[in-house]
Every structure is written in structure tokens, then in C-alpha cells.
């Protein structure tokens, strides 16, 4: 089968048409992939970011966001059928550790990650445990179904911060930041202020429902954010950028008694004024990782089916998977928002 693999600790992937087609073992499902989302993690693996040496298995097939159809069922699998359209949770948990046994499997101590530690979905077929398979409702398009994973990240972050009736600051209006704005608006947030250094991303933030957008490279934006939220600062910070400066500025902006939900992944340690920006303000900080399995998936589905989330503008490019180098060049140039690979018709044209 066709697959994109990480075969060397250097930039790039290896495209092969001769990868062995996987077969589902007991309790597993084989999915024929039709569309696959491309995210910042995939970009980091493509560029061989320093963290990939610790987290990416040599020779692994990459990719973790997808939609497709069930091609085969392993022994003992029930409740699914061949031909059924499905997506899947990319965190494969052990079910044995304390977090798994106490309702926190999203922070499983032995997690395996699709497209990093086990073979992923940038291929004709992917295998995953039946428990991780998510049937996709017919009303949800392939492009949105292919990115349920990052939509879930945004949902988890927003729902952890109790945004209803509260003013919200979103630092970083990339794909997940923009989605979080739409979710916060649908969840009843008050004033929503977003920051980003990119003018294009600020425009998207407005389209997704932000009331005001601020230039993230303007050192005065924290003062502006406070003025826009009654002078006391936002009630909630949704930190999506992972940028150390944005993190510090965001924490300094939040009002006393506020909540900060941190999803962005810094590439270096971050120094914050713990005394003044956290302790003296009584700030609640929540670290957010992945999706709560599977309550977050139900929340995403319910909002999509109710028409509360309009996310089509997030997908900026649809590209045949064999043109993957063009996709990562677009990401590196900041021309793209969300790219979706077309896998089952690689000869089709892309935009």
C-alpha cells in the first residue's frame, strides 16, 4: 500500500507504494483511509524537530487525524460493520494505569500515539483498537470528520475553563485557537478577545466569532485586553500558542479569580511571575492534553449536529497525499490554515 513514513532523523518523509498492508488482530479494526488532517505535530515530525528523537519510532507511518471506512474486523469485534464510515481516537491507552482506572485515560501513563509510536493514517490503511474507533454521523462532512481530533483538543480546552457568561482571551489563533473561539461562542462566552501575530489568523478569529483581535507582537496588547474586558482583565485565558512571551502576557492579563487553560506546547521552559500573576490573583491553571475519552468526542458531535459549530473556513487546502511536500511547504510559509490530505483519490486536484 501507499504510506508516508519517517525513516531517518532528517527533514522529510519517505513515500512508498510498497508498504505492507496491515491486518487487524483480535479486537482491532482495519480502516481504509479516505481523508487525513495535517497538523503541527506532523509538521514537527516532517522537520525532525528535536522532540521527535524521543517520541517518534524509526520507520513509523505518520499521521493521526483521519476519516475512512471499515475494511475488515478482527476477531471478537462487535458493534461495527464493514463499509461503515469512521474516525478514531489517536491516543491508544493501556487501561491498566491509575489514570486509566480513575477516569483520566487521556493522561494514560503508557499511552501509544498513532503516527508517532505506532503506525498512523498517512496511508491507504490504518489499524487501531476497536475501542478507539468513532462512527461518523452521516451529517458530518469528510473534511470535518478528518479533523475531529483537533476539534476535540479545542473542545477539551474550552470545556475545562467554564467559559459560559465569562470574558475570554485566546492567545494564538491558529487552527485549534480559531476552533476554540467558535466553541467558546457556542458555549455562551461573553466578550472574546484573540491575539496572534498573523493578520490572516486574526481575520479568521473574527470569522470564528471573536469580538476583537489584537496583534500578538504589539507589547501593549495586554493593556488593551484588560480595557476590552471591563478594565479588570479577561475571566478566562485559553492559551493555544505555546509561545513563552504569549504565555507570560496572557497570564498577566487574566483578572483576579480567573482561569487559565493551557493547551499550547512550548519548545522551551517558560518563566512566569508566579507570585503576582498566579498566587496573588488566585488564578486557577489547568493543563490540557488531548481529548477526554470519550466525553469530548460526544460534545464535539453534539455541537456539530446541532449546527452550533460552522468550521468549514478552517480547511484552507485539500491536497492529494502524494503532494505532501507541497503541503508542508505551505505550512512552513504560513499560507495554509488546515490542510486535509485526500488519500483515496490521490490523482485528484488540490486547492
pLDDT the model gives residue 51: 86
Task: Say yes or no: 321 and 223 in one domain.
Answer: no
- 297 assigned to some structural domain: no
Residue pLDDT, tens place only, 27-49: 999 999 999 999 999 999 999 98
The three-class DSSP label of residue 141 is coil
Over residues 97-107, the mean pLDDT reads 95
Task: Say yes or no: 170 and 280 in one domain.
Answer: yes
* Residue 116 predicted with pLDDT over 60: yes
The rounded mean pLDDT for the chain is: 95
Residue pLDDT, tens place only, 241-299: 999 999 999 999 999 999 999 999 888 899 999 999 999 999 999 999 999 999 999 99
* Residues contacting residue 152 through CB under 8 Å, at least 6 positions apart: 290, 291, 296, 297, 300
Task: Say yes or no: 69 and 200 in one domain.
Answer: no
Expressed as residue numbers, the domain containing 51 is 3-146+310-342
Task: Say yes or no: 92 and 160 in one domain.
Answer: no
* Residue 350 predicted with pLDDT over 90: no
Task: Say yes or no: 22 and 134 in one domain.
Answer: yes
Percent over 90 (pLDDT), the chain? 92
Alpha-helix residue ranges (DSSP H) falling in 289-346: 295-305, 324-332
Task: Say yes or no: 158 and 111 in one domain.
Answer: no
pLDDT the model gives residue 345: 64
Which residue from 87, 299, 337, 89 is spatially nearest to 208, judged by alpha carbons?
A: 337
- 302 assigned to some structural domain: no
* Residue 351 predicted with pLDDT over 70: no
How many domains, in total, are found in the chain?
Answer: 2
CB atoms within 10 A of CB 72: 16
Residue pLDDT, tens place only, 122-139: 999 999 999 999 999 999
Task: Say yes or no: 141 and 9 in one domain.
Answer: yes
Task: Say yes or no: 276 and 326 in one domain.
Answer: no
Confidence of residue 53 (pLDDT cuts 50, 70, 90): confident
CATH for 327: 3.90.180.10
Task: Say yes or no: 196 and 228 in one domain.
Answer: yes
Among left, alpha and beta (phi > 0; psi -120 to 50; other), residue 340 is: beta
**Terminal CA-CA length for the chain:** 25
Task: Say yes or no: 26 and 142 in one domain.
Answer: yes
Q: C-alpha grid cell for residue 289?
A: 492534553
pLDDT the model gives residue 335: 84
CATH for 270: 3.40.50.720
Amino acid at each position: 500500500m501507499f504510506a508516508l513514513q519517517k525513516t531517518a532523523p532528517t527533514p522529510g518523509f519517505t513515500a512508498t507504494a510498497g508498504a505492507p498492508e496491515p491486518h487487524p488482530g483480535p479486537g482491532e479494526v482495519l480502516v481504509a483511509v479516505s481523508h487525513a488532517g495535517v497538523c503541527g505535530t506532523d509538521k514537527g515530525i516532517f522537520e525532525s524537530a528535536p522532540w521527535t528523537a524521543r517520541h517518534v519510532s524509526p520507520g513509523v507511518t505518520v499521521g493521526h487525524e483521519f476519516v475512512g471506512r471499515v475494511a475488515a474486523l478482527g476477531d471478537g469485534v462487535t458493534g461495527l460493520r464493514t463499509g461503515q464510515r469512521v474516525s478514531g481516537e489517536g491516543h491508544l491507552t493501556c487501561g491498566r494505569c491509575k489514570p486509566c482506572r480513575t477516569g483520566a485515560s487521556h493522561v494514560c501513563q503508557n499511552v501509544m500515539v498513532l503516527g508517532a509510536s505506532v503506525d498512523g493514517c498517512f496511508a491507504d490503511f490504518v489499524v487501531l483498537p476497536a475501542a478507539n474507533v468513532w462512527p461518523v454521523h452521516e451529517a458530518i462532512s469528510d473534511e470535518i470528520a478528518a479533523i475531529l481530533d483537533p476539534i476535540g483538543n479545542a473542545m477539551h480546552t474550552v470545556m475545562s475553563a467554564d467559559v459560559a457568561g465569562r470574558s475570554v482571551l485566546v492567545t494564538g489563533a491558529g487552527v485549534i485557537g480559531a476552533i476554540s473561539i467558535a466553541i467558546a461562542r457556542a458555549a455562551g462566552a461573553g466578550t472574546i478577545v484573540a491575539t496572534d501575530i498573523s493578520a490572516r489568523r486574526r481575520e479568521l478569529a473574527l470569522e470564528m466569532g471573536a469580538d476583537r483581535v489584537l496583534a500578538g507582537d504589539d507589547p501593549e496588547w495586554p493593556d488593551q485586553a484588560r480595557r476590552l474586558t471591563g478594565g479588570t482583565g479577561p475571566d478566562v485565558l485559553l492559551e493555544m500558542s505555546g509561545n513563552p512571551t504569549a504565555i507570560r502576557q496572557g497570564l498577566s492579563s487574566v483578572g483576579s479569580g480567573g482561569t487559565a487553560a493551557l493547551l499550547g506546547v512550548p519548545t522551551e521552559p517558560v518563566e512566569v511571575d508566579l507570585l503576582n500573576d498566579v498566587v496573588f490573583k488566585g488564578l486557577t491553571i489547568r493543563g490540557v492534553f488531548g481529548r477526554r475519552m470519550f466525553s469530548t468526542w460526544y460534545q464535539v458531535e453534539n455541537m456539530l449536529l446541532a449546527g452550533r459549530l460552522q468550521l468549514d473556513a478552517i480547511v484552507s487546502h485539500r491536497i492529494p497525499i502524494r503532494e505532501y511536500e507541497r503541503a508542508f511547504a505551505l505550512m512552513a510559509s504560513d499560507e495554509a490554515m488546515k490542510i486535509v490530505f485526500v488519500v483515496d483519490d490521490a490523482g485528484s486536484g488540490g486547492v
